[in-house]
Amino acid sequence: MLTRQQVTQTQARAAALLEAAGIMLTPDERVHLEVADFGLGDLDRTGLALVVYVNNDRYCAKELVLFPRQTCPQHRHPPVGDDPGKQETFRCRWGTVWLYVEGEPAQNIRAEPPEGGEAYYTVFHEVELHPGDQYTIPPNTWHWFQAGAGGAVVSEFSSPSRDAYDVWTDPRIRRIPEGTGDEAT
């Protein structure tokens, strides 16, 4: 589990990166900036910070912040009831991000799966996104992504988020939001 200090330091670092990308947050959003290490305790390599702008029963929008070479591990958004699964459009705002999805694998991928977790990365169709580039991930499709050497800011536009239903390749992963500010109140 992340320490309170890790969370606040990471929140400040993420807010600074968003500001560099020209993205303004309210003071309340800064306090509630979410830090995820997916329960792996290796935040520098596996994790991300995010701001959820809106998540209602019709649509969702978030800002994702990845530090240099940080990875969001492989997962998919399965069907839930009438919902065919979350569909996501990633739009790179700042930096470089390599996105991997199902499909023809790249010969030499540019990202590097985090050491020790290699077995849990199985899709290698590579999509490189620079600012202004975007890609839509169909529902229930395995995907993972990693930032380039300078980190990345990615806007996510999607159908509603129901994180609890996400399926992760790595069985060690626990997706419990930390650092949303709620535990401090």
Contacts to a second copy by CB under 8 A: 21-26, 29, 53-54, 56, 58-61, 87, 89, 91, 93, 131-134, 136, 155, 157-159
In angstroms, give the least distance from the CB of 158 to a second copy. 6
Burial-class residue 145 by CB neighbours within 10 Å (0-12, 13-18, 19+).
buried
Q: Could you tell me how far CA 119 lies from the centroid of its own chain?
A: 20
Q: Minimum distance between the CB of residue 91 and a second copy, rounded to whole angstroms?
A: 6
Give me the least distance between CB of 2 and a second copy, in Å please: 25
CB of 129 to a second copy, least distance (A): 11
What is the residue type of 174?
R
Residue 41, both tokens: 């305790």
Nearer to a second copy, 51 or 173 (CB): 51
Q: For residues 46 and 96, which CB has a smaller minimum distance to a second copy in the complex?
A: 96
Nearer to a second copy, 25 or 106 (CB): 25
Min CB(182)–a second copy separation in Å:
20
User: Based on CB atoms, which residue is closest to a second copy, 61 or 106?
Assistant: 61
The contacts of residue 170 (CB under 8 Å, 6+ apart) are: 38, 40, 73, 74, 117, 120
Name which of 82 and 115 has its Cβ closer to a second copy. Answer: 82
Dihedral sign computed on CA atoms, order 14, 91, 102, 51: positive
CA torsion through residues 130, 131, 132, 137, sign? positive
